[in-house]
Structure 1
Amino acid sequence: MLSFEEKLAIIETFPQLERKNVSLGRVNFHYDESAHDKKIVVFHLHPGGNGFVYAGLLRGYETDERGFVNIRESSAEELRALIDDSIRSLSIKVPEAPQPKSRRKQAAAGARDGMASMWSGPDGQSLELRREDDLWYVYAGLNLEMVFETSDEAEEYLNEEGFKPA
């Protein structure tokens, strides 16, 4: 198994990825030129060596329900190939079929209309998604958690963190 430092060194060889430090020493890498709403290529690379790479648009990879591949046991070659494939898949926009409006979309629609929507987490936490001044704010009580440019980015973050509309 590659160490955190070895994985980080490989990931940082991709100049199109932007490093974003997140909680608990974890690191995300975003691909800002993505043709999709999805911008996270490397998700929660942890100092213990675990982490995930987005492969939701790829065939031939075993992904979780969010489209991520666990890279804990990946070799250097496998990691490079997966990241390269992920970036390539996010570079091309393929039209998607319209999907029915889910409860999540309905909650977000309420926030889009200027109302706030509440989201519940796996450990009973609550976050509020609120639109203010053309940005999307995620609050934990009175504390600002994150800010996003689009509702899709905010919803993606909330879903990746295990939150669902309350």
Structure 2
Amino acid sequence: MLSFEQKQDIIESFPELTKKEISLNRLNYHFENSLHEKTIVIEKLHPNGNGFVYVGDLLKYEKEANEKGLVNIREYDEQALREIIRDAIDYMSEDMETPIVENWTSREGVLLELVHEKRNWNIYFRNNLEESFGTREAAVEYLFEEGFKPKK
């Protein structure tokens, strides 16, 4: 487990975050350029090493996040902490109005669309949602396993 000071150093290596002291020697870190109402990325970082990162409804963290979209980072190592902070900042920076669309096809000519929208990677067949994934990598792996390739 990383110490409080180690977690602080990692968090403060993200220049887009602003530290704010709160009660009981705890710290919050805000992302002031958030495109959403919420600006707190790291909540209640405590000298005992406990703290939370806001990931909202990112599917990648659905098993770890509580009902408020917070993930406890007490046991996180450096790599995991850096990754979740980057994901949280990206989540709060995301313009959810402009989806990314990729076409995939099978040998039989079946066409699927891989669409990044509202923080998820969704696979559609004729406007019907077939599957939803938290990461592009998971969606692409699924498509390859099912015999699909990117359409050129």
Q: Using structure 1 for the length normalisation, give the TM-score.
A: 0.56
Alignment of 1:6-155 (within 5 A): 6-61=6-61, 62-94=64-96
| Structure 2 residue identity aligned to 1:68 | L
SS in 2 for 1:23: coil
SS in 1 for 2:59: coil
Distance 1:49 1:59 in 2: 25
Kindly provide the amino acid, as one letter, of the partner of residue 50 in structure 2. N
1:54–1:67 contact (8 Å) kept in structure 2 = yes
* d(CA) in 2 for partners of 1:76, 1:43: 17
Give RMSD over aligned pairs: 0.9
2:60 aligns to what SS in structure 1? Answer: coil
One-letter code of the match for 2:48? G
Asked if 2 retains the 8 angstrom alpha-carbon contact of 1:57 and 1:89, the reply is no
Gaps of 5+ in 2: 98-152
How far the C-alpha of 1:68 sits from its partner, in A, is 0.4
Give 1 or 2 for the bigger CA radius of gyration. Answer: 2
Conserved 8 A contact 1:29-1:43: yes
Q: Could you state the TM-score of these two structures normalised by the residue count of structure 2?
A: 0.61
Regions of 4+ moved over 3 Å: none
Q: Report the CA distance between 1:65 and its aligned residue.
A: 1.1
Letter in 1 for 2:69: G
| CA–CA distance in structure 2, aligned partners of residues 55 and 92 of structure 1 | 12
